[in-house]
Homo-oligomer: A and B are copies of this chain.
């Protein structure tokens, strides 16, 4: 179905938000929605919504709008939420634990299979019903469980130590909470960075800006 003219990152980053709003409409049994109504709801322009949707071939009907249910399903397909990606988390500290417990991986097409730690106190325990393993079992686990995604919740220098191992065993997709620059070292990877402290500094800037 996709037009596939190389979708820009600006569009891609808006897709999850569309999906959220459309899902909520579906939950409230809304049958259809126009780009202008959705725009009003999401506080964006109707034009942008239509342009964005049209990147994927356009799934509306002139004079009618968009079918919410159809839109939702299309979005799920586009985002790949109906596929399954076997996932591991590296690091069972505060962050890794929070990610494991807080994110509904299953709902987003990810299957969390294991968590890896170096701290012996935590190894052997469970987090969110998932076993915490020692790093020594990492490579074998990746192979036997068909892991394709690693979530990095360890400090920058720990990533430096472990990244080659992951890459060389076929892991090319990363959800990266560390400040290690993965795509610099391995350019044929797909890396999604979450830099929370950058976000906080951005907030700091904007607060400070108004004070000047």
A205 touches B98 (CB 8 A): no
Q: Assuming the A-B contacts A94-B97, A101-B94, are A194 and B199 also in contact, with contact meaning beta carbons closer than 8 angstroms in the complex?
A: yes
Is A12 engaged at the interface, CB distance under 8 Å to the other chain? yes
> Which of A46-54, A79-87, A129-137 lies at the interface with chain B?
A79-87
| Bound: A99/B94 CA distance, A | 8
A55: shortest Cβ distance to chain B, in Å? 12
| Bound: A156/B98 CA distance, A | 17
Return the chain B residue nearest A201 by Cβ. B16
B175 touches A205 (CB 8 A): no
Count chain B CB atoms within 10 A of each CB in A79, A109, A204 and give the residue with the most. A204
Is A116 engaged at the interface, CB distance under 8 Å to the other chain? no
A202 touches B192 (CB 8 A): yes
A177: shortest Cβ distance to chain B, in Å? 9
Q: Which residues from 187 to 206 on chain A have a C-beta closer than 8 Å to any C-beta of chain B? A: 190, 192, 194-206
Q: Which residues from 116 to 159 on chain A have a C-beta closer than 8 Å to any C-beta of chain B? A: 148-149
Count chain B CB atoms within 10 A of each CB in A98, A197, A205 and give the residue with the most. A205
A85 touches B197 (CB 8 A): no
A63: shortest Cβ distance to chain B, in Å? 29
| Bound: A2/B198 CA distance, A | 21
B202 touches A12 (CB 8 A): yes
| Bound: A95/B94 CA distance, A | 9
Q: A98-B102, A102-B196 are in contact. List 17 more A-B contacts (CB 8 A).
A: A2-B212, A4-B212, A12-B202, A12-B206, A13-B198, A15-B205, A16-B195, A16-B198, A16-B199, A43-B183, A43-B184, A80-B205, A85-B204, A99-B196, A103-B200, A190-B207, A192-B199
| Bound: A69/B196 CA distance, A | 24
B196 touches A103 (CB 8 A): yes
Is A168 engaged at the interface, CB distance under 8 Å to the other chain? no
CB-defined contacts of A192 to chain B, threshold 8 Å: 199-200, 202-203, 206
